Amino acid sequence: MSKQLDSLRQFTTVVADTGDFDTMRKYRPTDATTNPSLILKAVQQKENQHLLEKIIHDHSNASGSELVDHLLVAFGSEILSIIPGRVSTEVDARLSFDTQASIERARQLIDLYQRSGVARERVLIKLASTWEGIQAAKVLQAEGIRCNMTLLFCLPQALACAQAKVQLISPFVGRIYDWYKKSAGAQWDEAANAGAADPGVQSVKSIYDYYKAYDIPTEIMGASFRNIGQIRALAGCDLLTISPDLLNQLSESTESLERQLAPEHAKQNAPEWLASNEVSFRTELNQDAMATEKLAEGIRVFVADGIKLDTLIAQARNK
């Protein structure tokens, strides 16, 4: 009997949400995603210390931020030697509200990849789905630098990304689920909010249906899962990026898995066409307490881990 992970591959591109090389070798994902938190975790593993040591040795005169970028590219290049597809590498979250600085940092990352022999087509630059981040992506996409918009929690963010013609968006299923569960407190009914009724799943489905109904080419990659029920409910989404623990659960389960999302279903019940501009983006995002709070929280978390990574590199450099 087929494993769920193999069944999922039939209609969804499986992506590894990790910086762990062994996980990628074991589960054979097509693509891989990284973020400051995952790289911070990976670089502290003993088997990866040589990457940090080599970066510091080879770039002794580089600034702290340059060393971080070299490290990100070293991890990304190693990942690309394992997987057949693309790797997502994130621009410093501290630049989430600075369009020009985000553009310049993204160009630098792509330049470092190309110097390492990696074609730009194999790299997705991750940017936070703030208005400023989306405008940076618009410029980068026009230059042939493909972008993955992260920390995305609502349709208005997805609409702005579509207008910017970004390559891919990463709506965060689990963090939406977390917010609604915390908000409901003791009134939360897990069974009633599982599977297709999960608020995170419903958010991604609404974006999927909109994109497919209007033939928007931007890829949709569900992210930040808390359980395999959420993954099963989004089977058929363009891509799903999955943590090592959930990849393992899917690889061990022999339960049947059916496709849940399909373009033809979206076209049958096309949602209303919605305009998107800066005013509507900021207004609609502000009206959505969940999306506003989770976007801000996500940036804060990534900034904190970015600072920790800076500190770790500085300490290694001063040994």
Task: Transcribe 203-227 into DSSP letters.
Answer: HHHHHHHHHHHTT---EEEEB--SS
CA–CA distance, 221 with 219 (Å, rounded to integer): 7
Q: What are the C-alpha distances in Å from 186 to residues 125, 165, 195, 289, 298?
A: 40, 42, 20, 20, 25
Exposure letters 144-164 (e unless 16+ CB within 10 A, then b): ebbbbbbbbbbbbbbbbbbbb
Burial of 223 (0-12, 13-18, 19+ CB in 10 A): buried
Cα gap 172→220, rounded to integer Å: 11
Query: What residues act catalytically?
Result: 126
Query: Three-state SS for 259?
Result: coil
- What's 288's DSSP letter? -
The DSSP H or E segment spanning 169 is strand 168-171
Q: What is the C-alpha to C-alpha distance for residues 71 and 221, in angstroms, rounded to an integer? A: 25
Length of the chain measured in residues: 319
Structural contact between residues 22 and 282, judged by C-beta atoms closer than 8 angstroms: no
